[in-house]
């Protein structure tokens, strides 16, 4: 069971990195819409993932995206940032009786509203970190913030759509 889970995640990791790097990194509408749904990999990791492993996986994921994007550590730093925040966000969103053992932070386990809140918060923190580090200035604060909001909405939509199709795949 554990080996199967690890193999599936390695395959999912490779698909996510290739999809982000080869397709989604080439989408930019008027400089205001930059989708980064590769964060789904961090979002879907089991609740029981140790923090050190979570940070390592986040760094490796971000580094892989940086390697293909020539972004020199921007993605690595932003993904490590949200991996650091993930336990706090999960605690903030936890149900009254906590998370059930053996469940994953997915739409089929905790519903659409919980998954929407969780994805939106995590993507929002990632994008704030990423976009403000990318520009390294607050001169065009509102323009950058508009980029963040539009990209968060689009990225969250793709993440939720992906979960919907993954869940439908499992059901059938």
Instruction: Give the model confidence (pLDDT) of 113-149 as tens digits.
Output: 999 999 999 999 999 999 999 999 888 999 999 999 9
Please choose, from the candidates 140, 132, 124, 164, the residue with its C-alpha nearest in 3D space to the C-alpha of residue 36: 124
Confidence check: pLDDT of 105 > 60: yes
Indicate whether 37 pLDDT > 60: yes
Task: Report if residue 10 sits inside a domain.
Answer: no
Q: Is residue 142 part of a domain?
A: yes
Residue 88 lies in a domain: yes
Residue 43 located in a structural domain: no
CA distance linking residue 47 with residue 43, whole number of Å: 10
In a domain, 1, yes or no: no
- 16 with 41: CB under 8 angstroms? yes
In angstroms, rounded to a whole number, what is the distance separating the alpha carbons of residues 10 and 12?
5
pLDDT value of residue 21: 93
17, part of any domain: no
Strand partners, 29: 33
| CA pair distance 161, 169, nearest whole angstrom | 12
pTM: predicted TM-score of the whole model, two decimal places: 0.93
- Domain-embedded: residue 121: yes
Residue 69 in any domain: the answer is yes
Count of structural domains, the chain: 1
pLDDT bin (cut points 50, 70, 90) of residue 96 is confident
Buried b (16+ CB within 10 A) or exposed e, 53-72: ebbebbbebbbbbbeeeebe
Residues contacting 30, CB < 8 A, separation 6+: none
For residue 158, the enclosing domain spans 54-172
């Amino acid at each position: 069971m554990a080996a199967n889970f690890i193999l599936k995640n390695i395959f999912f990791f490779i698909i996510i990195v290739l999809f982000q790097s080869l397709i989604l990194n080439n989408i930019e509408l008027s400089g205001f819409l930059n989708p980064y749904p590769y964060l789904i990999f961090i979002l879907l990791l089991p609740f029981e993932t140790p923090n050190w492993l979570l940070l390592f996986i986040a760094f490796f994921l971000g580094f892989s995206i940086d390697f293909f994007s020539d972004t020199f550590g921007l993605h690595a730093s932003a993904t490590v940032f949200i991996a650091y925040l993930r336990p706090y966000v999960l605690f903030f969103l936890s149900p009254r009786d906590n998370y059930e053992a053996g469940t994953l932070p997915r739409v089929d386990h905790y519903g659409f509203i919980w998954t929407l809140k969780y994805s939106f918060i995590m993507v929002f923190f990632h994008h704030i970190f990423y976009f403000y580090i990318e520009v390294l200035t607050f001169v065009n604060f509102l323009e950058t913030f508009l980029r963040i909001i539009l990209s968060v909405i689009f990225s969250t939509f793709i993440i939720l759509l992906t979960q919907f199709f993954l869940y439908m795949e499992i059901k059938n």
